[in-house]
Amino acid sequence: MKIDELIEKAKSSAGAKLVYTEPYEKDGITVIAAASVASGAGGGDGVDKEGQHGEGGGFGVTARPTGAYVIKDGTLRWEPAIDVNRLVGVVGAVVVAVLLFSSRIAKVHARRAIARAAAVPAP
């Protein structure tokens, strides 16, 4: 595939249909799901010592659900999606940070207590 073809394919695949689904209706409720989509492409060409020409490229897309628009009785509301993997990662990072900092804080308090005890004259 030529680089120009790759770029054209990337342009045509990135659009609203990747972000929003077709409306789904059931029992008077319409749902339109939405996603966060990111894409990227790259490529290049060159000539080797023997004069042979070559080119290559790649294209990637990633998508994560963000939520859905819900239409019921003429009222529109946004229902956010919960990314459980991200939530678990953030909670885990916070727990690790608390454990690391609590041990440091305990060491500082212990040093201060020792310093105060050494500064107090014996009776």
Domain match, 76 and 87 both:
no
Domain match, 94 and 43 both:
no
Domain match, 37 and 62 both:
yes
Quickly state the pLDDT bin for 93 (edges 50, 70, 90): very high
Domain match, 91 and 65 both:
no
- pTM for the whole structure: 0.51
Alpha-carbon distance 55 to 44, whole Å?
Answer: 6
Quickly state the pLDDT bin for 7 (edges 50, 70, 90): low
The residues pairing with 67 across neighbouring beta strands, listed in sequence order, are 34, 80
Domain match, 16 and 64 both:
yes
Domain range for 40 is: 1-81
Q: State pLDDT tens for residues 45-72.
A: 888 888 888 888 777 878 888 999 999 9
Q: What is the pLDDT of residue 95?
A: 94
Residue 120 has pLDDT above 70, yes or no: no
Domain match, 97 and 73 both:
no
Domain match, 87 and 123 both:
yes
Tell me how many domains the chain contains: 2
Q: With left for phi above 0 and alpha for psi between -120 and 50, is residue 84 left, alpha or beta?
A: alpha
| Average pLDDT taken over every residue of the chain | 83
Domain match, 91 and 107 both:
yes
